Amino acid sequence: MLDLARKVLDVEAQAILAMKERLNSSFEKAVETILSCRGKLIFTGTGKSGHIARKVAATFSSTGTPSLFLHPSECLHGDMGFISTGDVVCAMTYRGDSLELQILFQTARKKNVSIILLTGNFEGELAQFADVVLNVKVSREACPLGLAPTASSTATLAMGDALAMVTHSKKSFTAEQFAANHPGGGLGFKLTRIRELMHAGPGLPILPMDAPMTKVLSVMSRGETRGAAGIVDPEGALVGVITDGDIRRRLENSQNPLEGRADTLMTRNPKTIDAEELAERALFLLEQFPINVLFVLDKSAAEPRKPIGIIHVQDLVRARLR
């Protein structure tokens, strides 16, 4: 079983690598056609090629080029009305003899629609209709019978991904834009800025250095930010932090735990994070030290040591699970 699995992977890897040698000006023209599209970018295909087309459309959409998938059969029964002048159709068919695509191409041509074709039959009839043809031909399928689309579908997917990534690069699509398209799941968490998750505003638990312990306890017990207080100097710069752990240790070791000032209990030079850092960085800091909260600074501001927010480990856990 393992030997056969390795052969499958070898065949598919070789199919992808072989396409590197065939890349030419047609690929560049395909990217330019997509970049100059003033209408919709529409992917289509039947069978396994249709599944690949749907995935590539999703990749384009998530990386800055809104795209959609239309099934050729549905186009013959009304969905052709969705295609209009100025659109670009990117079709995928390995054998290049799909009757549904042939009819779709003929109709699209009448609407002055540009056509990009990914096929293993780059001299077939469908290729004659296309403005750009990309050759995804493979020497053999990975299927032991040589029948099931395996290496061919992998090659088509890889070529589609290459189109998407080069288009993405040419558009200078940023990490911030990518994050906006992936608000949930692991990707969304990794690309979320601290500024989007932190607690801020009038309720921020900030106290002066000479605040009495009774005031410290009161501030640390309120609202969503309970569990920590930031201590600032007369200029508003963060100089220390008091946490639940500090309070517990004081209760254990002091005969008069409510006496004294904030600056006698605070931990000096606390760990902080910039508002523009990624959430993943905050989680790393909290796990490394270990601590439960970080005060947030804006290091680009005129007063870079002035706290503008606070983030708790639970905020990061919730963001990671959403």
Q: What is the chain's pLDDT, residue by residue, as a tens digit (322 residues)?
A: 999 999 999 999 999 999 999 999 999 999 999 999 999 999 999 999 999 999 999 999 988 899 999 999 888 888 888 899 999 999 999 988 888 999 999 999 899 999 999 999 988 889 988 999 999 999 999 998 888 999 999 999 999 999 999 999 998 766 666 666 656 666 667 778 899 899 998 889 999 999 999 999 888 887 666 689 999 999 999 999 999 888 888 888 887 888 889 999 999 999 999 999 988 888 889 888 888 899 999 988 888 999 999 999 888 888 775 5
What is the pTM for the complete model shown? 0.66
Q: What is the pLDDT of residue 45?
A: 94
Q: Which domains does the chain have, with CATH numbers?
A: 2-173 (3.40.50.10490), 194-321 (3.10.580.10)
User: Residue 85 in contact with residue 59, Cβ under 8 Å?
Assistant: no
Q: What is the pLDDT of residue 294?
A: 93
Alpha carbon 63 to its chain's center: 8
Please provide residue 240's backbone torsions phi and psi, each rounded to the nearest 5 degrees. Answer: -170, 170
Token pair, residue 205, equals 């638990």
Q: What is the pLDDT of residue 253?
A: 85
From the CB of residue 282, how many other CB atoms can be counted at a distance below 10 Å? 27
Token pair, residue 240, equals 């220390």
Q: What is the pLDDT of residue 52?
A: 97
User: Residue 115 in contact with residue 99, Cβ under 8 Å?
Assistant: no
Positions of E strands within the chain: 41-45, 67-69, 88-92, 114-119, 132-135, 206-208, 228-232, 238-243, 267-268, 272-274, 293-297, 307-312
Residues 6+ away with beta carbon under 8 Å from 115 = 88, 89, 90, 91, 105, 108, 109, 129, 130, 131, 132
Residues 6+ away with beta carbon under 8 Å from 185 = 322
Q: State how far the Cα of 20 lies from the Cα of 130, in Å rounded to an integer.
A: 22
